[in-house]
Structure 1
């Protein structure tokens, strides 16, 4: 439409502001500088869409690793980590990681949107529940997760 304001357009214009880049995991302040990887949000690792950017890195970034730099900028704590990810949604970043064995590695990691991370966190939760049921039951009990199974739906299913 002529004269329309394109800032609200769903079309991805080159000057469109990017959102917060996410890495598909949970983090805490590290020992000294950096943030420690606490959890990696992977669901079924056989499905690419269920894999966290952290586990897709080569080598994978795993719980216990400490992220010390993003694109050469020092990560001091969780706050600076979030600042460095601001505006980086969908971008490939150079991430420096200190491994538990003392090695320092440089990884290229493509960030995802907060919505994609929420999906990964949900899939991680459901897949973790399935693994726990398998382990506790000796694989004798199945796990069935019904998304959006409300109280009303439960009542209908029971009747």
Structure 2
């Protein structure tokens, strides 16, 4: 299946380029251009017989460091979570007592100068232990030394900070009525985040599901099946003031709104597609990427290079090809304008909360209280007794 491309002509167009290949990257470029003629997503070209290169990765502190007239100062410390070992926060470890506003005076005993790039002192230290001399003032008088282990990337910490900031914003805007659940992808981390955030907020009246920038992975039918659950009844209990156990045993029963954007694709296309098809709730944001094809069983080249050729495309229940190259359109279109984002606002998140609160007026589910104890004793009583 070449999507209608004249494959024999494509070969004629590009085969003369091969004689000009002087490096493996040249060959990858040609293969990439050829695959582009097919006009399909998930057609990746990578690897091959490249020379082995080593690099000294810079160690990072999981913090925002600013330079003032006195020295390098800690402006913000990013924190992790014990449930996620990939969210290691070097300066937030128990017992270090490193604080926002502290100055970093030395790295491994070497004085640092504001005329240098701060990160030059951390070259080659990623994942290694280093000592920091810190103080609440830009002076060695009263300074102390702490031992920390740097990290090679702060992406996870900064994303988690963004997620938690969104959760707090939703809680504030909704008066504590709405849950916020972020789904970064539809692979293992995505399921971990979904389960962690969704079931921990079952006391909420509704939910905002945020799948912006969702990197995909697999078909997230589990997630939509959970979100589509309806309340069927209760079992009475003697805990929490006779609060009943719902059946099914876990869920958020009120309205749900999903936020989507142009950087969500693949499984991040299928998730909102199913969410919409199952009429779980409206979609807010911008059209998704439109890259819904499946890739599996792609053998490498002889030199361990790779060209991923999608193995399966998606078509809908009407028997028509769908989503790939088209994406999923929102029910409520909201652009994430740079000006508002720079000002610390999130137009898409705010619109999603507004819509969920509107739906809550008519779709709120209130757990029914336990009725009076049933009378089931039916033994007949003789007259006169």
Q: TM-score range by the shorter chain?
A: 0.7 to 0.9
Distance 1:81 1:110 in 2: 17
Q: Which residue of 2 aligns with 1:126?
A: 163
Match of residue 58, structure 1, among 95, 100, 103: 95
Distance 2:162 2:88 in 1: 13
Tell me, yes or no, if structure 1 residue 38 matches structure 2 residue 96. no
TM-score where L is the length of structure 2: 0.33
Q: Are the structure 2 counterparts of residues 120 and 75 from structure 1 closer, same or farther at C-alpha, using a change threshold of 3 Å?
A: same
Match of residue 151, structure 2, among 92, 106, 112: 112
- The alignment covers a number of residue pairs equal to 145
Bigger relative contact order, structure 1 or 2 (CA pairs below 8 A, ≥6 apart): 1
Deviation at 1:20, TM superposition (A): 0.6
Deviation at 1:59, TM superposition (A): 2.1
Instruction: Tell me if structure 1 keeps the 8 A contact 2:131–2:148.
Output: yes
Deviation at 1:83, TM superposition (A): 0.7
Q: Which residue of 2 aligns with 1:8?
A: 52
Deviation at 1:104, TM superposition (A): 1.9
Deviation at 1:26, TM superposition (A): 1.1
Q: Are the structure 2 counterparts of residues 99 and 135 from structure 1 closer, same or farther at C-alpha, using a change threshold of 3 Å?
A: farther
Deviation at 1:133, TM superposition (A): 2.7
Match of residue 82, structure 1, among 119, 132, 138: 119
Instruction: Tell me if structure 1 keeps the 8 A contact 2:86–2:156.
Output: no
Q: Where do 5+ consecutive residues of structure 2 fail to align?
A: 1-48, 185-213, 215-259, 278-385
1:15-34 alignment runs, 5 A limit:
17-33=55-71
TM-score where L is the length of structure 1: 0.74
Tell me, yes or no, if structure 1 residue 157 matches structure 2 residue 157. no
Instruction: Tell me if structure 2 keeps the 8 A contact 1:21–1:87.
Output: yes
Deviation at 1:98, TM superposition (A): 1.2
| 1:40-77 CA-partner distances (Å, limit 9, x unpaired) | 12243665543410101632322211111101112223
Q: Are the structure 2 counterparts of residues 128 and 92 from structure 1 closer, same or farther at C-alpha, using a change threshold of 3 Å?
A: same
| 1:92-116 CA-partner distances (Å, limit 9, x unpaired) | 111011126x8522110111102xx
Distance 2:89 2:175 in 1: 28
Q: Based on CA coordinates, which of the two structures has the bigger radius of gyration? A: 2
Stretches (4+) displaced over 6 A:
none
Q: Where do 5+ consecutive residues of structure 1 fail to align?
A: 10-15
Instruction: Tell me if structure 2 keeps the 8 A contact 1:57–1:109.
Output: no
Moved more, 83-92 or 139-148: 139-148
Distance 2:73 2:122 in 1: 15
